[in-house]
Amino acid sequence: MRPSLPEPVLLTPGPTPIHPDAREALMRPMIGHMDPELFALNAEIQADLRVLYGTAPEAFTALVAGTGSLGMEAGFANLVESGDEVLVCANGSFGRRMAEMAARYGARVRLVTAPLGESINPADVAAHIDGVSMVAVVHGETSTGVLNPVPEIAEIVRHAGVLLTVDAVTTAGMQPFRMEQWGVDYAYTGSQKCLSAPPGTAPIAVSERALARFSARRSPVPLWYCDFEGLRDYWVEHTYHHTVPVNLHFALHAALRAALQEGLEARAERVRQLGYAVVSALEPLGFSHYVKQPEARLPTVLALRLPEGLDDTIVRQALRTHGISVTGGLGPTAGVIWRLGLMGEAARPAPYRALMVALETLLG
């Protein structure tokens, strides 16, 4: 037997440490993907996802067998047709990824942007919404630690009567997400973020309105694997579509149960308190908020400007020798910020205490 290795301290914006219940569930003996036992477990996942996303009772929920990006792709593949006008809010890497995907599925993309580190201005969405069939926005932009004002954007989209797709990868399960109340039509996340399950499944939720749009398509869905009809065949009709990753369903089911047992509000409060404590501990070392407007700060991914003179690469490499992984900036923010994940099991005091002890040794 291999000697057990020390637990890595993962403070990255995902993947997050696996929840103990999910880790145990992952090791369950295999059963068939068409086993009635798995269909019963899938039905529980679907019900729990309705709670996670705050959907209407008739919304369709499921897992797609891939990471968060497949959740993103499934939305554009099913809800966009060639020539559709799609407005994408792009104030970071993941917004830009949405725009690229929408274009690949034939959309004519209109971009609404914001300066790096700032949130999307809903008035800009209102100014460009005429004639679009869908608006897409990232709730928590991981690349810059910005929280976009989804409820305000949703209100504008609702008045315009068009579909709203929201990337909930860094928010659902750890921050309030109210699909029905806000009027979101398609949402997705990745199992490895706020839920602390292993990477490999993307929980999706589709509103009744989006399903009606899907049913009115003029052309087949170009992505066979995630065609809503095919997903429905498996998740609702219990007929074969493709072999789902059974053990990842076990793990996601356990992680989701644990999240709902803790309570979504309690989880948001856990993030709030820990975020406050982490920033208060790091400020004396010279770290400061990268996102200026307090209401635009994403609680689950703290973007912190590095102290003057701190060498990003050297310090992060030194932290790795203590078993601690911290993520730097992306593109223009590389060497300028760190992005600390406060999602799922990463949002616990113990790993952050380990970071503080290591930093005090390295910088003190």
Task: In whole angstroms, give the CA distance from residue 254 to residue 53.
Answer: 17
Residue number with CB closer to ligand PLP (310 or 333): 333
- Out of 142, 175, 327, 333, point to the residue binding ligand PLP (CB under 6 A): 142
Looking at the Cβ atoms of 97 and 267, the one nearer to ligand PLP is: 97
Residue closer to ligand PLP by CB (options 166, 310) is 166
* Segment contacting ligand PLP by CB under 6 A, of 166-174, 176-184, 208-216, 323-331: 166-174
Site for ligand PLP in 247-276 (CB under 6 A): none
Q: Which of 122, 173, 183, 190 binds ligand PLP (CB under 6 A)?
A: 190
Rounded-to-integer distance, Cα 99 and Cα 76, Å: 10
Inter-helix orientation angle 246-262/264-282, to 10°: 80
Residue in 282, 252, 292, 254 with CA at minimum distance from that of residue 342: 282
DSSP string for residues in 243-294: ---HHHHHHHHHHHHHHHHH-HHHHHHHHHHHHHHHHHHHGGGT-EESS-SG
Q: Residue 310 or residue 340: which is nearer to ligand PLP going by CB? A: 340
Shortest Å distance, C-beta 96 to ligand PLP: 11
Question: For 173, which DSSP code?
Answer: T
In the block, residue with structure tokens 């800009």? 124
Q: Which stretch binds ligand PLP (CB under 6 A): 1-9, 61-69, 155-163, 174-182?
A: 61-69
Which parts of 68-97 interact with ligand PLP (CB under 6 A)? 68-69, 72, 94
Judged by CB under 6 A, how many residues of this single chain contact ligand PLP? 13
Residue at token pair 């203590």: 322
Q: How far is the CB of 137 from ligand PLP (least distance, A)?
A: 11
Tokens matching residue 305: 């400007």
Taking the least distance from each CB to ligand PLP, the nearer of 64 and 310 is 64
Query: Which CB atom, from 120 or from 138, has the smaller least distance to ligand PLP?
Result: 138
Binding-site member from 136, 138, 174, 184 for ligand PLP (CB under 6 A): 138
Strands 327-328 and 288-289: unpaired
Residue 102, both tokens? 């929408």
Helix (H, G, I), strand (E, B) or coil at 321: helix
Which class for 152: exposed (0-12), middle (13-18), buried (19 or more C-beta within 10 A)?
Answer: middle
Residue 350 region by backbone torsions, left for phi larger than 0, else alpha for psi between -120 and 50, else beta: alpha
Residue 35 C-alpha from the chain's centroid: 30
CB of 355 to ligand PLP, least distance (A): 20
Considering only 55, 119, 170, 175, the residue that binds ligand PLP (CB under 6 A) is: 170
For 195, residues 6+ apart whose C-beta sits below 8 A from its C-beta are: 19, 22, 173, 189, 203, 252, 255, 256, 259, 344
7-26 binders of ligand PLP (CB under 6 A): 14
Measured from the CB atom, the residue of 17 and 358 that comes closer to ligand PLP is 17
339 is in an annotated binding site: yes
Query: Binding segment for ligand PLP among 135-143, 291-299, 328-336, 346-354 (CB under 6 A)?
Result: 135-143
* Interface stretch with ligand PLP, choices 24-32, 75-83, 138-146, 214-222 (CB under 6 A): 138-146
Considering the rule CB under 6 A, would residue 355 count as an interface residue with ligand PLP?
no
Is there binding between residue 184 and ligand PLP (CB under 6 A)? no
User: What does DSSP say about strands 337-341 and 85-90: parallel, antiparallel, or unpaired?
Assistant: unpaired
Return phi, psi of residue 91, to 5°.
-120, 35
- Least distance in angstroms from the C-beta of 14 to ligand PLP: 5
- What's the CA gap between 351 and 323, in Å, rounded? 10
Q: Which is nearer to ligand PLP, 291 or 359 (CB)?
A: 291
> For residues 214 and 79, is the Cβ–Cβ distance under 8 A?
yes
What residue numbers does the annotated binding site for substrate cover? 339
What residue numbers does the annotated binding site cover? 339
Q: Which residues bind ligand PLP (CB under 6 A)?
A: 14, 67-69, 72, 94, 138, 140, 142, 167, 169-170, 190
